[in-house]
Amino acid sequence: MPKKILFTGGGTAGHVTVNLALIPYFQKDGWEVKYMGSMKGIEAELIEPLQRVEYIGIATGKLRRYFSWQNVKDPFRVIQGLWQAYREIRSYKPNVVFSKGGFVSVPVVIAAWLNRVPVVIHESDITPGLANRISVPYATKVCYTFPETGRHLSKEKSVHVGAVVRDHLRSGNKLRGLHFCEFTQEKPVLLVMGGSQGARKINQQIRDSLDALLQQFQIVHLCGKGQVDESKNNIRGYKQFEYIREELADVLAMTSIVVSRAGSNSIFEFLALEKPMLLIPLSLSASRGDQLLNAQSFLKQGYCEVLEEEHMSDGMLLERIQEVYARRDELKRNMRTGEGEDPLQKLLAVIKGSAR
């Protein structure tokens, strides 16, 4: 009888990418795989194309730090989701649950604990997010990416695994990427990523600076859902996408430098592929400050330049992009760290070792 694993995590693509990296390994080893997420979140879109992975949608409520009338309704959705997760887990009887975090994971983790199913949590940021802080007491093991994160976790249940990078991203082909975007080899490629939810200010600043940027670069712009500007579709050397799945490895292979938010999963993938970065982290007014810490950690190690969103203007953005491009060789040298134990294999071992 095959072993069973239930994955959870969602709300943003960053709460799904590690799961996407792990799932093929469990399938290859003969495990039965299911995924539990929200009804209509981005996790449903990302998991749906996978073969032999049943997706289970449950009711969810967002954990907000600001006033909203939805805060009155959402506790009832969380309770509903907890009951749905409890019943599904009781029926499915997984050997282990793996949680990547996000608000949808909280009822799943608690429901697993109530069913006495071991839970392994993965935390990507320097400081654990609210959902993971709530979930940690119910977890068997908590794995983390940044060495600094260990200060915030119990030594008894925490394991430093490092950054998990999706294997297929390492197999990209530059020529396929150029063909996909209808680019040439005459100019370097600038990749702009605002995160799965998009980044309106970054998107607008890039579009306002297109004339100047296109003199030096070809640009791939991942704008986020619903944020493609149709009026810019026919500009030579500029390609917009809401999100790229299968072709992302090829796009990264042709990329010279990246402008990105500072979500930990993405920036560690850029690090693994030695892509010089200009990071524009989410500000404190829009987040708990985790991206600011991620960006500062990378800046100290010489992997990137950082531009705070509050200081971003057309001229400043253009200047910092040119600065990263001028320093690209230096930044790449800093990224060439020594080979250690493969984080993905280490995480797999923790999950399998925790399974009942």
Whether the per-residue pLDDT at 225 is higher than 90: the answer is no
CB within 8 A of 154, min separation 6: which ones? 136, 142
Q: Is the pTM of this model over 0.85?
A: no
Q: How many beta carbons lie within 10 A of that of residue 278, not counting itself? A: 22
Q: What is the CA radius of gyration of the chain?
A: 20
What pLDDT is stored for residue 292 in this prediction?
93
What pLDDT is stored for residue 332 in this prediction?
96
Q: How confident is the model at residue 201 (pLDDT cuts 50, 70, 90)?
A: confident
Lowest mean pLDDT among 220-229, 247-256, 333-342: 333-342
Phi, psi (deg, nearest 5) at residue 260: -150, 160
Rounded Cα gap, residues 325 and 323, in angstroms: 5
What pLDDT is stored for residue 309 in this prediction?
86
Lowest mean pLDDT among 139-143, 195-199, 301-305, 313-317: 195-199
Rounded Cα gap, residues 314 and 66, in angstroms: 30
Task: Provide mean pLDDT across the span 290-311.
Answer: 92
Q: How confident is the model at residue 284 (pLDDT cuts 50, 70, 90)?
A: confident
Instruction: Please give the structure tokens belonging to residue 47.
Output: 């998991």
Angle at CA of residue 104, ends 150 and 118, nearest 5°? 60
Whether the per-residue pLDDT at 305 is higher than 90: the answer is yes
Task: Provide mean pLDDT across the span 318-347.
Answer: 89
Q: For residue range 84-133, list pLDDT tens digits in order.
A: 999 999 999 999 999 999 999 999 999 999 999 999 999 998 888 888 99
Beta-bridged to residue 97, according to DSSP, are 6, 119
Phi, psi (deg, nearest 5) at residue 314: -55, -50
Whether the per-residue pLDDT at 69 is higher than 60: the answer is no
What pLDDT is stored for residue 344 in this prediction?
93
For domain 4-160, the CATH class is alpha beta
Across 156-185, b (16+ Cβ under 10 Å) vs e yields ebbbebbbbbbeebeebeeeebbebbebee
Residues of the chain with CATH 3.40.50.2000: 4-160, 168-335
Task: Provide mean pLDDT across the span 145-156.
Answer: 90
Rounded Cα gap, residues 285 and 341, in angstroms: 37
Rounded Cα gap, residues 127 and 318, in angstroms: 31
For domain 168-335, the CATH class is alpha beta
Question: In percent, how much of the chain has pLDDT > 70?
Answer: 93
Q: Which residue has the higher pLDDT, 17 or 287?
A: 17
